[in-house]
A and B are shown apart, each in its own frame.
Chain A
Amino acid sequence: MNYRRTKAIARKEMLHILRDPRSLTAALMQPLVMLLIFGWALSLDVDRIPTFVYDMSQTPESRELIRGFRGSRYFAIQEEVHAYRPIDQAIDKRACLLAVVIPEDFAKNIGLKQPTRVQLLLDGSDSNTAAIAQGYAEAVVAAYSQQLQVPIQTQSGNIPATVNADVRVWYNPDLLSSNFIVPGLVVVIVMIIAANLGSLTVAREWENGTMEQLLSTPARPAELALGKLSAYFVVGAADMLIALIVGVFIFHVPLKGSVTLLLVSSSIFLFGALGLGIMVSAMFRSQLMAYQMGTLISFLPAFLLSGFIYSIGNMPRVIQIVSLFVPARYFMEVARGIFLKGLGVELLWFNLLLLIVYAGIVFYFAARKLRQKVA
């Protein structure tokens, strides 16, 4: 490979990038926008669940149960109603996620030491929130139930032995979803840039007619690929750094592991992602199609199948196997591992190896694809 030719191509690409300030600005703003959205606005943390209470019992016992809900940060009691109808309407209007219905004979049954039931009505549309809400609500009821048994037990001279769960959270003690999301964002941002910028570059030259000119020169396909890749690498690296800096200093995501390792592995991943973009670009002579394909192959799998938000373990077997071929998945583990778990090369070497191999393979195919004829 000829250094001078590659350098000439890289320089040209850099000029293209700099001369298109709109695209460049959009590219550099991408991480900021995504961080803003994912780091600040979006959250899966469930609290302040809008709750309605329908207390048909109106006794000290039922008030006690309701206090259990009121005192919890997970529930926000909106209204106390006296019929089912308002609950229906509220759920339809999405104003109510959970309704607690206490039967008339609640206190009576407790007095008679007979089992009694509290009805929990959930809006299941948002199943995730609903499942979590269900868990919390049932826990409140169960806690109340246990509490009832304490005086009885003590009366009969027993000290009630309860078995409790001692929950400790590793790596992300406050269970902040931003800690979960932000490292993953670095992965997704890289893929977006690679998909967007990388996938158009060759197709554009075809559309403009300059590709033909390039092919008639001594420039080798690998030089072409490397030259283009180098220029976009700079942009991708800038984006990554922005994401890292904002993530660490503004969102206070802990960075427990080695920064060097993070930067090195990110670079490897970026290289592979750009290689994929360029390969896609070489497959199409039309920018429109290159863009569609780029999104399909680069961005979507990175977003959905890398474990960014949706855990891979929950997917059907077939999809899990597909995800094995998504490089973003491996880098996701690396990124989260370095950020939250402080992992080092000893545990991450396999992923890194895979990423290196992937980058090599993709680059090879990209160069091959560029060894094109005009028709």
Chain B
Amino acid sequence: MNRFDMLSETVSWIAVAPQLFLLLTVFAVLGYDLAARPKSKDVHAFLTALGVGLSGVAVAEQYRRSYNGTLDGLTSFSQMLILDGSSILVNGALIVVLALGLAFAWPMITGMGTYGAETIALMLLSTVGFMLMGSSLNLMMLFIGLEIGSISLYVLAGIAREKTLADEASVKYFLLGSFASALFVYGVALFYAATGSVQITAYFEIFQGLVNTKPSLLLVSLALMVVGLLFKVTAAPFHSWAPDVYQGAPAGVTGFMSAAAKIGGFAGLMRILYLGFSQLADTWQPLIAAIAAFSIVLGTLLAISQEDVRRMLAYSGVAHAGFILVGVASGRAALREVMFYIGVYSIQLVAAFGITSLVSGAASSGSARSEYVGLGKRSPFLAGSLALVMIGMSGMPVTSGFIAKFGMFQVAWTQGFAWLVLVALVASVAAFFFYLRVVVDMFMRDADDDTEVAVGYPARVALLSVGVVTILLGIRHGLLLDFISKIL
């Protein structure tokens, strides 16, 4: 394809509409902030809500077209981007996470002066990056998406550095994150060396019919790319940065940071494994399964000994990454279950971190368990929400968490990973211990003081919706599962 083809190609705007709306909002918010220097953040709120809303409408339109089969051209921008079921679902999940994340971050945004507008802009930008990642059909595109998303997050981690000990978190995140990106891009280079292309499908197309060919260069490239992405999703043994970063970063944005990075990372991972290297499934499936088991066991064990709720959530995130990898290892047959798990878990993650920001303060670093003692009496709504989220994350029935885990187990068992299911089952029992410990602190111990925790209006709505969705999907999980499978 030469330069002129590229220019004459009709650009499929619908493929990038959600990203464009978010980008326009970024410019609008920053421009307004720069020009007007306002004291309040009311206009910011309006602009952001409008932009995120329009972006959500665009995703809905993508879904509608995909459902009707009228999506004009699956690929666009010279095959850089693809708009298929999974990219639409990733867009949707990211928009939901962004909206929830903004709701929880809002007290922090309004309290930090000019940095407030930047926080909004960075959250939106990183969403754009991860959306691009989920839609990439080209490894360079995927890398660019990854970097847009990640670099925004590095800055976000340090955005409140005067107030907190976020310096360390930010630097650590930046150094280790860049290292992971470097590994990834090295993998891309080797891929190019082996195939002469950076299209994700290149290997598939070149070696079609030569199933037995396993060029060692490609295997190395696959390993590097996968490791780079496993860093982003905090799978063990590439997780060591996560607890420090999620403890140190300002509480208001931590939930968004962790959830968005996971969605983007898994989207990229599945793109590469399912689309690019499906022929080598026999090679990568056992390895991913091993990493899944390791993540589940290690994350659970380390979470048990945490005294800080945010560190606990970070380690439990390692275990959850392992659970999602159980589905990834099971191959493309598990795509529906993986999407369900990611959707269900990411909103619970945002809510859980959001609650820690309400309890310990929006710009705080760390959230000691002692701060939760007696919360059930002081702030029943907040404590009830956190209890529900904890019960959901632990995978108890009547919550979406159970269905998500059950789906993983079932698909993994049918795909021959029975041992992995058994490991995961045992670990989930151990996991009850640390999830319930928070519930014990909140409901079964009495506090000395009885100061109520103030919960703002946006956070209240966000918590209520997460709670309703968690229970609703625990009972009528078909609603989301059908929604997913209709366009996959």
A binds B: no
A residues near B, CB below 8 A?
none
B residues near A, CB below 8 A?
none
